[in-house]
Structures are given as C-alpha cells and as structure tokens.
Amino acid sequence: MYTAAVEDYLKVVYELTREEGRATTTGIADRLGVAPASVSGMFKKLVEMRLIEHTPYQGVVLTSAGQKIALEVIRHHRLVELYLAEALGIPWDKVHAEANRLEHAISSDVADRMAAALGNPLSDPHGAPIPDKDGAIAPVASRRLSDLQPGDVGRVAEVIDEDAALLRSLASIGLFPNVTVQVLERDTGSGELMLRIGEGDHAVSSREASRIFVHEPERKN
C-alpha cells in the first residue's frame, strides 16, 4: 500500500500531463500547495520506487506501475465525487475537496460497490471519465472552449474541477457537461467569449474558457 502523499503525487502527475502537456516541479507544487523543494524530495523517492521517471528541467512522466496507481486513485476520486453528488445531493463545486480526502480512505471493493450502486457510470459530475477497475479509461476531449471561434457550437465534455469558484460561476450560467454552447463573440484583446447557453447570453473569460473541454464537432455529411 502507498501513502496518501504518494497517491496524490501520482494523481497530480497524471492530471497535469493531460491538462498542461507536462508535469513540472512548479506545476505540482502549485497544485498540491507545497514548496518546490518538497516536490524535488518526493520526486527522488518516486524515482527510487520506479513510479516516475524524471528528466531535469522537463518534468516527470509516470512509469506503467505509477500510472496504474494513479488511475486507481482517480477511479476512487471520481466515483466518490459522483456518489456525493448523485446519492447525497452535494453540489458539484463541493465534491472535489471531499473526494481528495476520501479517495485514499476507501478500498477498491468499496469503489466497485459505489460504481455498481451508481449503475457503472462512465463519467464524474465534471464530465471526467471514470477509469474501470482494470485501469482502462475512455479518451478525453482535448478541444478547449477557448479555441472556439464566433459562430462555433460546442457540446461541453468536461470542466476542470480544481477551482470551486469557477464551478459555482459556471453553474450560475447553466454551463455543465453535455450542455451545448454557441460562441457569439470573442474579444480579440482579452479573449473573453460571449456565449449563448439555452436562452441566455453570458460572458466567460479566456482563462475560464481554457478550463472547459468540448467534444469534437460532429461531422456533417
């Protein structure tokens, strides 16, 4: 068994690789709220444990053993989030912090039972795919809302769940996974987008839009 700290590092390496393209000391320090020196110390341990490979100035990548653990923690995290949201009615901006603690506490048997109780769901409340118990995970959307141009229509796939204030502001304008949004305007200076969501028009900053992934456009024949 691994400590919660080891599990957190592996999870964050996995997430940052996806979100930022790489996992660096500073990126991990920011995400975990620790000093860069602590991250360097943990990198050494994780390299010795053969869970990551570290290239100085480039960042780290997970080994296959590291990835297996990361995906198990992510499975727990996302199932806990969905369970809290669906079974207990906890809002989507509150489930992430709870899941960050509970993900380490539940056994894989409890995670499997949560999955069964929820009908073996494919994604969490923020639209992120839930790995199955063998560590298989569905491909994630890579197109960001911030890449869309005026006139484009996109269906929301996933919202990065780290920022509770962002989730509250998106909830207030009705922006959730599976909702379709249309870009009406884009400010060429700030990158702010004016979106039509349902009947309403709402502004979203470029930073917010970069935290939102949309499905690839459907092919029109």
Question: Which residues of this chain interact with Zn ion, rule CB under 5 A?
Answer: 96, 161
Give Cα separations from 201 to 101, 159, 219 (angstroms).
37, 19, 26
187: closest CA among 131, 146, 127?
A: 146
User: How is residue 68 written in tokens?
Assistant: 């297996």
Cβ proximity to Zn ion: between 7 and 161 the closer is 161
Q: How far is the CB of 179 from Zn ion (least distance, A)?
A: 19
Query: Distance between CA atoms of 72 and 95, rounded to whole angstroms?
Result: 18
Cβ proximity to Zn ion: between 148 and 161 the closer is 161
For Zn ion, the nearest residue by Cβ is 96
Q: How far is the CB of 151 from Zn ion (least distance, A)?
A: 32
Cβ proximity to Zn ion: between 75 and 96 the closer is 96
Residue with tokens 């990158």: 191
Q: How far is the CB of 161 from Zn ion (least distance, A)?
A: 4
Q: How far is the CB of 125 from Zn ion (least distance, A)?
A: 9
Cβ proximity to Zn ion: between 78 and 186 the closer is 78
With contact defined as beta carbons under 8 Å apart, do 24 and 43 qualify?
Answer: no
